[in-house]
Every structure is written in structure tokens, then in C-alpha cells.
Amino acid sequence: MTFDDWLNQAWDEHAAQPAAVAARIADEGLALARSDAQVAALMRLAHHLHGEHLGRFSEGRQLLFRLGTSQPAGAASGVAQRVFDASLALAGGLADTRGALGTSERIRVGAHAAGALAERDAPRAGSLLREAALEFDTAHLPNDDPACRAIAINGNDIAMTLSEKLQRSDAERDLMLLGARVARDYWARAGTWLEVERAEYRLAISWLKAPDLAAARRHARKCLDLVREHDAPALEWFFGFEALARIERALGNAPAAARAVQDMKAAYERLDEADVAWCRPVLDRVSRLAPAAPASTGLGTGTSVFPSTGFER
């Protein structure tokens, strides 16, 4: 097995088996790592597992140290160890070592710590995310600085994690919406139209769960506007219409929901082979929510809405 194969499998399994995957990092993963960048990738996985999933902050820091001493520290792994170690220390209430870091690394620490705390301490996570965003803005760092991307990624992950919960406290609802808004704002700086389009999808789903169905529909349509404008792959159409179908169903608009499901089905037929299997359960689930209808109108255009097609992990 190659390192990339191992890492992809670890990410595929991590949500269902976080402790088991974490236990394999230092032995299996490290044994396959051949470069500084690969060690840094293991550190990212270790931080994610011990922070967001397990809440084992001290244990995560110990693993980062072990990974960091496995070979001479290079640029990527050195930065990863500093940022992720400081993030786990901050999230776990063990120490705040941000004062020893440069501006960009300090902002990244706060953003990652916010992500780690989303399900454990929503008010503190919100404070850390706002603080990271404010510091980025006041520091006037360029948009291609890694701190901008870290804020966008963690905002998105926070919104996604909390939107998937069956129930949310008021603080978690507020954090979910904050994360989705921050992700949209910072992907507009750090990413491309694709990340912005997916951030609009995340806003639509977050407002659906809030719930504010008018806001949800507005962002679903913005998502689909970007998809159309950029002649996007079928996967983007599929999820744009998935959001719209769920929202129209929640609004009690069965005909519009059914049209969106028909558009989902049309997009599904155009998917790349690699996406078919994991999208099928999504299509089946939404199809059960919204009944089938005559030929799609594609947001009222009366035409086929997409030509012939990914979401980040």
C-alpha cells in the first residue's frame, strides 16, 4: 500500500472509527511516509482526530511530537507541528502559546482550535473563529496567506458538523451560521468560484437547519447561479438541486421540490463513475422526501439546465 492509499483510507474511515484510525497513525502511517509533506499530512489527520472527534488534546500533542521527531523537521512538518500543537493546547485549555508565533500561524491556531471545539464549547469556538477572522482583517495579510484558507476551511467544517446534528442548542445554531458565513466570505478571498459555490450550498443547508427557509432558498439559488455561470460539472448541479429540493419540500412546495428532484436525477446520470456510488444514497433519500414530477423545468427556465462533471472531504 502506498502512503496516499493509506491516507485516503484513513480519512474514509476516520468518522466511524476515530480512535482506531488515530492508533494507526504513528505506526502504519509513519512507516509509509517518505517526505516532509507526508509527515505534515499525518499531523493534520492527528490534529483532526484528537481535536474534533476524540477531544484527547494532550494525547494528540504527544502524537504530534512523536511524528515531528521521526525525521529532520522540514518546512511543512515544522509549521504543521507548531500550529497543530498550539491549537490542541488552546482548545484543551492546556496552554495558550500563540504569543510565541508569527501573525499568520497565530491566526491559524485560533481557527483550528475553533474547529476542534465546535461540538464541545460552541460559545468559545465562536469567539475563537471571530477573533481569527478579525485578526486576519486587521493584519492586512494577503489573501493567499495560509491563514485565510484555514479560516475558510474551519468555518465550513464547523457549519457542516453542526448542520448534521439532529438537535442544536441556540449557541450551536449561532455557531453553525457563523461558520457558514465566514466560510463564504473567506473562500471568496482564498478560493475559486468552486469553493464559493460550495460555500453557498453550505449556507443553504445551514439556513435550512436554522431554520430560515427564505434565506435557505436564496443561497440555494445563488449556488445554482454559480453552477450555471461556470458551466460546472454534474456533481455541482446534483448537490445544488439536492439543497433546493430539500428546501422546497420544507416550504411545502411539492411541485418545485419534485422538479428539483428531477434535475438531481438528470445530473446523476451525468456523474463521473467515481461519484455515482456515494451520490446514490443522497438521491434515494431526497427522492423519498419529494415525489417525482413531469420533465424538469430547471428553475423555471423551461430548458435543460445543465450540460454534461467534486465536494471536498
Give the pLDDT band of residue 11 (cuts 50, 70, 90).
very high
Please state the rounded mean pLDDT for residues 247-262: 96
The pLDDT score that the predictor gives to residue 289 is 80
Q: Is the pLDDT of residue 309 over 60?
A: no
Q: Any idea where the domains of the chain sit in the sequence?
A: 208-313
pLDDT tens, residue by residue, 59-71: 999 999 999 998 7
The pLDDT score that the predictor gives to residue 140 is 93
Q: How many CB atoms lie within 10 A of CB 155?
A: 29
Q: Is the pLDDT of residue 168 over 90?
A: yes
Percent of the chain with pLDDT over 90: 89
The secondary structure of the chain, three-state, reads CCHHHHHHHHHHHHCCCHHHHHHHHHHHHHHHCCCHHHHHHHHHHHHHHHHHHCCCHHHHHHHHHHHHCCCCCCHHHHHHHHHHHHHHHHHCCCCCCHHHCCHHHHHHHHHHHHHHHCCCCHHHHHHHHHHHHHHHHHHCCCCCCHHHHHHHHHHHHHHHHHHCCCCCCHHHHHHHHHHHHHHHHHHHHHCCHHHHHHHHHHHHHHHHHCCCHHHHHHHHHHHHHHHHHCCCCHHHHHHHHHHHHHHHHHCCCHHHHHHHHHHHHHHHHCCCHHHHHHHHHHHHHHHHHCCCCCCCCCCCCCCCCCCCCCCCC
pLDDT tens, residue by residue, 36-59: 999 999 999 999 999 999 999 999
Q: Is the pLDDT of residue 298 over 60?
A: no
Please state the rounded mean pLDDT for residues 249-272: 96
Q: Do the beta carbons of residue 313 and residue 11 sit within 8 Å?
A: yes
Q: Is the pLDDT of residue 296 over 90?
A: no
Please state the rounded mean pLDDT for residues 85-111: 97
The pLDDT score that the predictor gives to residue 73 is 65
The pLDDT score that the predictor gives to residue 74 is 75
Which range is least confidently modeled, 73-77, 173-177, 308-312? 308-312
